């Protein structure tokens, strides 16, 4: 698979992630900095390494499923899996400038 194809798929995955919002904060999960990494295998299996704003996050059960389902709707994605990590713990510093501006932190 050429790197251009992988880059294009990566961009499509990011666009999809930007449609998913944390229910408590009016900013998408990508701009919040909850997505740590996105891996795409040669057969277009996607693995997303992410965190939550806190270990007690009320969407800990449902958000990963929503992400997997939405990423699987990308026509070339074979499978999607979300892995939650709390290493490192999420902090407000991980938010994009756009998110900080949106929430009034700048």
The answer to whether position 54 is within a domain reads yes
Question: What's the rounded Cα separation, in Å, for the pair 84 and 38?
Answer: 12
The answer to whether position 104 is within a domain reads no
Report the pLDDT value the prediction gives residue 22, as an integer from 0 to 100: 85
Q: What percent of the chain shows pLDDT beyond 90?
A: 76
Report the pLDDT value the prediction gives residue 82, as an integer from 0 to 100: 98
Prior bond to 50 cis, omega within 30?
no
The answer to whether position 103 is within a domain reads no
Report the pLDDT value the prediction gives residue 56, as an integer from 0 to 100: 87
The answer to whether position 34 is within a domain reads yes
The pairing of strands 35-40 and 79-84 is unpaired
CATH number, position 27: 3.30.300.130
Would you say how long the chain is, in residues? 106
Structural contact between residues 29 and 68, judged by C-beta atoms closer than 8 angstroms = no
Question: What's the rounded Cα separation, in Å, for the pair 28 and 45?
Answer: 23
The answer to whether position 52 is within a domain reads yes
Report the pLDDT value the prediction gives residue 1, as an integer from 0 to 100: 53
Q: Looking at residue 80, what DSSP letter applies? A: E
> How many domains are contained in the chain?
1
Report the pLDDT value the prediction gives residue 58, as an integer from 0 to 100: 82
Report the pLDDT value the prediction gives residue 48, as an integer from 0 to 100: 98
The answer to whether position 106 is within a domain reads no
The answer to whether position 78 is within a domain reads yes
User: What's the predicted TM-score (pTM) here?
Assistant: 0.90
What are the pLDDT digits (tens) for 51-88? 999 888 888 889 999 999 999 999 999 999 999 999 99
Section 32-50 average pLDDT: 96
% helix / strand / coil in the chain, to the nearest 5?
A: 35, 20, 50
Q: Which domain holds residue 35?
A: 3-91
Question: What's the rounded Cα separation, in Å, for the pair 45 and 72?
Answer: 9
Cα 86–68–57 angle (5° rounding)? 35
The answer to whether position 101 is within a domain reads no
């Amino acid at each position: 698979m050429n790197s251009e194809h992988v880059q294009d798929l990566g961009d499509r995955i990011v666009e999809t992630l930007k449609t998913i919002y944390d229910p408590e904060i009016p900013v998408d999960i990508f701009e919040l900095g909850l997505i740590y990494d996105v891996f795409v295998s040669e057969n277009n299996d996607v693995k997303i390494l992410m965190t939550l704003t806190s270990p007690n996050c009320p969407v800990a059960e449902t958000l990963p499923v929503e992400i997997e389902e939405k990423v699987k709707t990308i026509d070339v994605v074979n499978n999607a899996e979300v892995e939650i990590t709390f290493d490192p713990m999420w902090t407000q510093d991980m938010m994009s400038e756009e998110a900080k501006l949106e929430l009034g932190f700048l």
